[in-house]
A and B are shown apart, each in its own frame.
Chain A
Amino acid sequence: MTAELSDIVQRVAGWARDGEQVEAYASRVREVDVRAREGDIESLSSAESQGIGVRVVSDGRQGFAYAAALDDAVLEETLAEARDNTAFGSVDEWYGLPEPDGVAPPELDLFREELLSFPTDKKVELAIELERVARAADSRIRAIDTAEYGDAISELAIASSTGVAASARRTVCSLVVDAIAGSDGDTQTGYGYSVGRSPGELDLVDAAEDAVRRATRLLGARKPPSQRLTVVLEPRVTASFLGVLSSALSGEAVLKGRSFFEDRVGEQVAVSGLTLVDDPTVADAYGATTTDAEGLATRRNVLIQGGRLERFLQNTYTGRRSGAGSTGSAMRGGFKGTPGVGARALMLVPGDRGPDELLAGIERGLLVQSVQGLHSGTNPVSGDFSVGVEGLMVHGGVVGEPVREATTASTLQRMLLDVVAVGSDLEWLPGGAAGVTLVIGDVTLSGS
């Protein structure tokens, strides 16, 4: 199948006229999604979608068009539209498609043949079993909102008239469960998941039990009094914060005056124990890939080393304009968009103490299970954030009563300087970042 996509993009790139650059990006995804409800199938969807995005650069202008189909007539029409659109763009000397840069793509095995032969009946069984295990795990579980099995087989190919050619394919499977716990008139929810490249890599019981544990341990949660304390972010909360932080590390945001990190390369922006890396060449990362969205090889990029800001993420355009060069960090939201810049596999280099050991050393603190409104409450330009938090209070190193409807607000800049410890429990999570326990000192919690 990949061969066919490669042929298509090569053909389109070959239609470039003199003095014109053409890039084609095509992708195809086959997905299955099963939702279970009360021991039966609620829905079973199977779908294949594909499409192409065509970028044309001529006379210093850029145009783009896409179509959710790959037949010949569509390819020609899409190229013609993209070409027509170039006439209306502004001239920018930095526009232009990448040239092959000689960096070899990492060797990554992200495709599992076994998923292709895994029968639909077994997928249905997994979803139903997930719901059953979650429901049976605790008598306080009142309902299972979602119990879902999903998988996707995806492939992409990129080719340009400037000589770039890349292709990639991968598989992914997941189980997701949302549990609702009820007791004494109170209701709490928790979700759990397991992600792998094939069904054999999924841990169903762990996903179900995690959802149940998260929902039940919050039962009886109250609004805490306002106070200053130490907070301990659970791994998935840390990953969410890294996600919002990454937009300030995008070379595009920096060039356009939308990053609080502008002009700060070489400065100490975080505590010395903090090193932040974006590394899509790690096979275990959910966002692992051999090629970026412009067909250049992905690579390991150290962004903050020992608290010092080292570099920003760049695609071809931002790399040329800033002079820093591409870091292989072009990203797209599928074939429907032009390449932006983004992180695929952010990770904090882990410390040497696990979460239990870190918690034991905290006199008064809050273990944060989840934050609400991180995206709506964060201004990635100024760094200001304000979030709702829920979790468990910590007294004398021991985890205690649950709390909810509390808020905390600060700036991302300040938070990086207030990090007390990074845990040793690194785990790759869905999305563009790895989770790890993170301890932050002197945080203002506002409640009642």
Chain B
Amino acid sequence: MIEESVLQRVLGVALRTGGDFAEVFAEDKRSSSGAFDDGRVEELTSGRDRGVGIRVVRGETTGFAHTADFSEAGLRDAADAAAAAARSGEGGVREVALTRREARRPHDVRVPPEDVAKAAKVELLGRADAAARSESGSIRQVSASYGDSRRRILVANSDGLLTTDDQVRTRFMVQCVAEADTGMQTGFEAPGRTVGFEFYDDVDVEEIARTAARRALAMLKARPAPSGELAVVLKRGAGGVLFHEACGHGLEADLVDRDASVFRNRVGEQVASPLVNLVDDGTYAREWGTYAIDDEGHPSQRNVLIEDGVLTDYMWDFLRSRKEHRAQSGNGRRQSYQYLPMVRMTNTYVLAGDEDPDGIIERTEHGIYCVQLGGGSVNTATGDFVFGMTEAYMIENGEIAEPVRAANLIGNGPEVLKAIDAVGNDFDTWTGTCGKDGQAVPVSSGQPTLRVARMTVGGTA
């Protein structure tokens, strides 16, 4: 994207005001999407985002500027602006020698999205619509969309690093509205992978549509959710987002450093039930949060965060690891060249245990079986979180009973981690988008079927 000699000169400009670290992050991203709603293809969208973010660090201070101008003059102007923000007044000339490093790719992409005819993508939408509507006459509305992107990035920094990545993602979403005398309900299903069009060899868009439709139909028969403290069994894949929110964010080193995490100063302590093993793994082949390098050029890796309930480590980016004199963990990410990187999760999951998932339900006298969670949020300083359940059932006498209407689960991260009393031997993942400080990045989360002995359910009954 940018010649090596230009990168070297721009890094030199960035360091002129006395910065001790400078970085050029360049990005060229092409996106395409198509939306089907209300019985028709609404429109196709094509997009191009291209630009460079330049960062200069002096001690604890960071200066940042970005530009869409790839010319050397444009890059020098951005470097000057970033350097001015981090100036120490000392100044000096530093030569930067770059060494190209290629990170190992977690998997290959077989069919780049730009090699596929638009008509082939559009055809998926109509099939999904028909499949959802054929589930029942009560399906009133179907919205389906596909989205794919190819993001090429380059990172060069004053430590001599020069590296690149080529990240391809594909996702398909279906939302259905079902209507009956009881009112309207919705169902949603939206898997995504870090692959090209071969995504559709593994997932069947009609099955995605039927899943969304069945979810909306089940909710039509739902009774009001109970309120109060109950045992909650989270189906495999359904609850990963809870761990992402309830403890993952609190294990991000920038929040720990700002004293905004309940997990600060707790490495080595028992913070969860001994049944819990939590991992963040940016190398997980084809998963939604996977990449070869993070947005600071560090290779992705598998990081164990909680082992047998003991907190083993946090997740790290360049700044925080430099401050603590330790290695980066491949968790430095940014939404685009327009943003500074910070500590972010990749694919965060609880490892499978050894219990039969059916047995976990059978041993639950009275509780909730949660099949899908919607979004959620956490206050990392207190650990308090909430999540919306979008598909859930009562468990009565060890059996799955009637569906319950959407309701929030509310709790406290450290308390929920300790209240896990059964972990199944199955596993699944969930595709999502994580927001932090106004930046959105693709992530996945996962978990086996597991039970939280007590959690507050915010229903109406």
Contacts and interface: CB of A to CB of B under 8 A. Distances in A.
B50 interface: yes
A180 B457 CA distance: 27
A89 interface: yes
Interface in B129-159: 140-141, 143
A40 B46 contact: no
A37 B260 CA distance: 13
Nearest to B336: A68
Contacts of A446: 227-228, 456, 458-459
Contacts of B407: 377, 386, 409
Nearest to A144: B258
Interface in B260-317: 260, 262
Contact of A68 (B49, B65, B406): B49
A87 B117 CA distance: 12
A67 B460 CA distance: 47
A40 B458 contact: no
A65 B49 CA distance: 11
**B34, B184, B405, B457 — which one has the most chain A CB atoms within 10 A of its CB?**
B184
B433 interface: no
Given A189-B381, A258-B141, A89 B259 contact: no
A16 B126 CA distance: 30
Interface stretch (A19-27, A47-55, A357-365): A47-55
A384 B47 CA distance: 35
A387 B118 CA distance: 42
Contacts of A386: 225, 388, 406-408, 458-460
A43 B41 contact: no
Contact of B410 (A87, A89, A180, A405): A405
A291 B224 CA distance: 43
A241 interface: no
Contacts, number: 237
A381 B185 contact: yes
A409 B258 contact: no
Contacts of A68: 48-51, 68
A139 interface: no
A274 to B, nearest CB: 22
B335 interface: no
Contact of A180 (B46, B60, B381, B458): B381
B227 A409 contact: yes
Interface string B146-186: 00000000000000000000000000000001010001111
B229 interface: yes
A286 interface: no
B340 interface: yes
Given A180-B259, A384-B406, A388-B458, A65 B63 contact: no
Interface in A337-376: 337-338, 372-373, 375-376
B43 interface: yes
B67 interface: yes
A193 interface: no
A410 interface: yes
B97 interface: no
Given A90-B40, A381-B177, A409-B408, A372 B384 contact: yes
Contacts of A375: 375
A257 B138 CA distance: 12
A382 B183 contact: yes
B177 A42 contact: no
A37 B62 CA distance: 11
A226 B227 contact: yes
B143 to A, nearest CB: 8
Nearest to B378: A372
A387 B386 contact: yes
Contacts of A85: 43-46, 118
B382 A189 contact: yes
Given A90-B40, A377-B458, A74 B227 contact: no
B257 to A, nearest CB: 10
Given A379-B406, A407-B410, A69 B50 contact: yes
B85 interface: yes
A257 B122 contact: no
Nearest to A379: B406
Interface in B78-113: 81, 85-86
B387 A66 contact: no
B408 A43 contact: no
Contacts of A143: 258-260
B386 A44 contact: no
Interface in B382-400: 382, 384-388
A319 to B, nearest CB: 16
A448 B458 contact: no
B38 interface: yes
B321 interface: no
B382 to A, nearest CB: 5
B64 interface: yes
Interface string A135-168: 0000000110100000000000000000000000
Contact of B60 (A42, A74, A81): A42
Interface residues of B, number: 73
B119 interface: yes
B42 interface: yes
A444 interface: yes
B61 interface: yes
Interface in A61-103: 61-69, 74, 77-78, 81-82, 84-92
A375 B140 CA distance: 23
B47 A336 contact: yes
A289 interface: no
A405 B456 CA distance: 8
A46 B42 CA distance: 37
A47 B34 CA distance: 31
B183 A41 contact: no
B340 A45 contact: yes
A214 interface: no
Most chain A beta carbons < 10 A, residue from B46, B64, B406, B411? B46
Contacts of A89: 40-44
B119 A88 contact: yes
B82 to A, nearest CB: 8
A46 B79 CA distance: 11
Interface string B22-45: 000000000000100110111111
A44 B68 CA distance: 19
Contact of A69 (B37, B64, B68, B227): B68
A444 B45 contact: no
Contacts of A66: 45-48
B47 A382 contact: no
A240 interface: no
Contacts of A189: 260, 379, 381-382
B260 A42 contact: no
B244 interface: no
A373 B44 contact: no
Given A43-B61, A62-B43, A372-B410, A88 B118 contact: yes
Given A376-B387, A387-B458, 18 more contacts: A40-B60, A42-B60, A43-B62, A62-B43, A67-B49, A86-B43, A145-B381, A187-B262, A257-B140, A258-B141, A258-B177, A373-B375, A373-B377, A373-B410, A375-B375, A381-B184, A407-B410, A446-B456
Interface of B: 34, 37-38, 40-51, 60-68, 81, 85-86, 118-119, 122, 140-141, 143, 177, 179, 183-186, 225, 227-229, 258-260, 262, 338, 340, 374-377, 379, 381-382, 384-388, 405-408, 410-412, 456-460
Interface of A: 37-38, 40-50, 61-69, 74, 77-78, 81-82, 84-92, 120, 142-143, 145, 178, 180, 187-189, 223, 226, 255-258, 260, 336-338, 372-373, 375-379, 381-384, 386-388, 404-405, 407-410, 444, 446-448
- In the A-B complex, list the 10 residue pairs whose CB atoms are closest, starting with the nearest: A407-B458, A373-B386, A90-B40, A446-B227, A376-B375, A44-B85, A376-B388, A85-B44, A143-B259, A45-B64
8 contacts: A46-B64, A47-B66, A87-B118, A92-B40, A143-B260, A381-B186, A409-B408, A446-B227
